[in-house]
Amino acid sequence: MALQATMHAPCTASRVARRAMKVSAAAAAPSARTPSATGAVKRAMTMTEKILANRSGNTSVQPGDNIWTRVDKLLTHDVCGPGTFGIFQKEFGPNAKVWDNERVVLIPDHYIFTNDARANRNVDILREMAQKYNIKYFYDITDRSDFRANPDYKGVCHVALAQEGHCKPGEVLFGTDSHTCNAGAFGQFATGVGNTDAGFILGTGKLLIKVPPTMRFVMEGEMPEYLLAKDLILQVIGEISVAGATYKAMEFSGSAIEGMNMDERMTICNMVVEAGGKNGVIAPDQTTFDYVRARTQEAFEPVYSDPDASYVADYRWDVSKLEPLVAAPHSPDNRKTARECSDVKIDRVYIGSCTGGKTEDFLSAAKLFYRAKRQVKVPTFLVPATQKVWADVYTMPVPGCDGKTAAEIFEEAGCTTPAAPSCAACLGGPRDTFARMNEPEVCVSTTNRNFPGRMGHKEGQVYLASPFTAAASALKGFVCDPREYM
């Protein structure tokens, strides 16, 4: 027995030693460490992937991953706001609280200056919801007869979001409007959602989404004086089609992009949805930081694509070789050069919307009118996107125009008086909407869509163009290459 015990003793000791070694090994195993300490799961990522990884608590994500992302801001307006709150109340209960009343932004803008009772009721509902849930950022309008008497009213939601400091690098923004992607110009993930998703966000502050793959569009070279950002995005959409970026992130870079101010960058990102894009994004730089810091004191954390990040497609252009473009009826990808359409007689011109109603858009149009020193041959409607833009039109001297403001130049050219800030005719709207196409006319417009009926009459024809091309066309009465007047 003693011998047997002696013989088994080493075996028992060996088992104990092995068990201790396993425990020690387990304690030192990578699975017991934080992922950031091991680096084992890190991978090169694009900007969009990094933002979604940060907001979902993941070290990394890749295209196709389904993730729960934390939401920094939720936008809704008078068209979708009532439905969004209705779904929230139905699913979470009439006494539920929104997840964060300082992260919800309500901006009436689509059907504002109209006598349509249903449109007005939508704004009333938005006002009721803002009061019920104590929403901090509600840009209300109470006197439709004089927008200037409403200091809280801003105008078009996408431009107002930026001007009020709600767009910050590295954040996640969802909005109940397809052109929410406009905010990608600030280096954030921004995209449109439906009322159901927005209602869920109201209750939870989160959303389940699939990580999109990224397409890269590099715009190099010096921008000719006759080109604007609108020409570049029409070039892209015409190249890849309205379905070419379906559920993909569209990342823009290159010296031409870097040389743009924030208004022009917003034009680029605003229209990615016309190519089916999930979101558009531009890397933040000093131009971005200066704009954001002048409007908010809130902290933000910019992110950038890794040099070896993977893209599903890579497009490159030398912008110095591009021409002024239009999107002919009835699709944003029906790309043609402006000179190819020089025989198209037009009935009107419209300069406005989140795409083409910013300060830079009006300064550009005014500059061309000033150089031409001629009067428009067709009605030319002007709709500043926001109160701030409206004020700029009346007070900001147009560079190189002898100190004249855009408003003075527009008056000399015979344009209509700039209207109250709103989406106005971009989405058609009620019949009494300013500049709505109530007849089957031909219009050159700085807006973003030219589908049948988009600006009103279902037989109307809309040519999408830059402010330069729109202004030149107004002077000639035909679709016109702006180089004729520059």
Residues 6+ apart with CB under 8 A from 265: 185, 229, 257, 282, 287
What range does the domain containing 435 cover?
A: 327-485
CA–CA distance, 264 with 285 (Å, rounded to integer): 14
CA–CA distance, 157 with 104 (Å, rounded to integer): 13
Q: Domain of 462: which CATH number?
A: 3.30.499.10
Q: For CA atoms 390, 394, 396, 402, give the dihedral sign.
A: positive
426: its two tokens? 């971009």
pLDDT at 190: 98
DSSP state of 93: -
Residue 158 and residue 299 share a domain: yes
Which H/E stretch holds residue 68? strand 66-70
CA–CA distance, 268 with 282 (Å, rounded to integer): 9
Other Cβ atoms less than 10 A from the Cβ of 94: the count is 8
Torsion from C-alpha of 240, 246, 247, 251, nearest 10 degrees: 10
Residue 235 and residue 94 share a domain: yes
pLDDT at 459: 98
Which H/E stretch holds residue 412? helix 406-413
Query: In sequence order, which ranges of 29-174 are alpha helices (DSSP H)?
Result: 35-38, 47-56, 81-92, 117-132, 157-163
pLDDT at 36: 42
Residue 274 and residue 385 share a domain: no
* Helix, strand or coil, per DSSP, at residue 458: coil
Alpha-carbon distances, residue 208 vs 71, 182, 246 (angstroms): 10, 21, 18
At residue 75, what are phi and psi to the nearest 5 degrees? Answer: -110, 140
- Prediction pTM value: 0.91
Residue 423 and residue 281 share a domain: no
100 found inside a domain: yes
Residue 341 and residue 281 share a domain: no
13 found inside a domain: no
Alpha-carbon distances, residue 481 vs 80, 442, 475 (angstroms): 38, 17, 11
- Taking alpha carbons only, the member of 292, 317, 313, 316 closest to residue 302 is 292
203 found inside a domain: yes
CA–CA distance, 467 with 229 (Å, rounded to integer): 10
**Are 73 and 173 a contacting pair, CB within 8 Å?**
yes
Residues 6+ apart with CB under 8 A from 14: none
Residue 364 and residue 312 share a domain: no
Residue 199 and residue 126 share a domain: yes
16 found inside a domain: no
What DSSP assignment string belongs to 171-240?
-EEEESSGGGGGGGGGTSEEEE--HHHHHHHHHHSEEEEEPPPEEEEEEESPPPTT--HHHHHHHHHHHH
* Helix, strand or coil, per DSSP, at residue 274: helix
Ranges of the chain whose pLDDT falls below 70: 1-41
* Helix, strand or coil, per DSSP, at residue 445: strand
pLDDT at 41: 55
CA–CA distance, 170 with 300 (Å, rounded to integer): 7
Residue 331 and residue 304 share a domain: no
39 found inside a domain: no
pLDDT at 34: 43
Which H/E stretch holds residue 366? helix 359-372
36 found inside a domain: no
Residue 341 and residue 270 share a domain: no
Residues 6+ apart with CB under 8 A from 71: 55, 103, 172, 173, 174, 201, 205, 206, 207
Residues 6+ apart with CB under 8 A from 68: 56, 206, 207, 208
Q: In what order do the strands lie in the sheet with 249-253?
A: 279-282, 249-253, 214-220, 313-318
Residue 342 and residue 225 share a domain: no
1 found inside a domain: no
What DSSP assignment string belongs to 284-349?
--HHHHHHHHTT-----------TT---SEEEEEEGGG---EEE-TT-TT-EEEGGGGTT-B-SEE
At residue 152, what are phi and psi to the nearest 5 degrees? Answer: -80, -25
Residue 361 and residue 264 share a domain: no
Residue 332 and residue 275 share a domain: no
Q: Total domain count for the chain?
A: 2
- Taking alpha carbons only, the member of 438, 437, 433, 439 closest to residue 420 is 433
Whether omega for the bond prior to residue 330 falls within 30 degrees of 0, making it cis, is: yes
Q: Which amino acid appears at position 17 of this protein?
A: A
70 found inside a domain: yes
Q: pLDDT digit string (tens) for 412-430?
A: 999 999 999 999 999 999 9
118: its two tokens? 């249903």
CA–CA distance, 419 with 9 (Å, rounded to integer): 96
Among residues 260, 292, 319, which one ends one of the domains?
Answer: 319
pLDDT at 326: 98
Burial class (CB in 10 A: 0-12, 13-18, 19+), 16: exposed
pLDDT at 73: 98
Among residues 298, 319, 340, which one ends one of the domains?
Answer: 319
Among residues 319, 349, 375, which one ends one of the domains?
Answer: 319
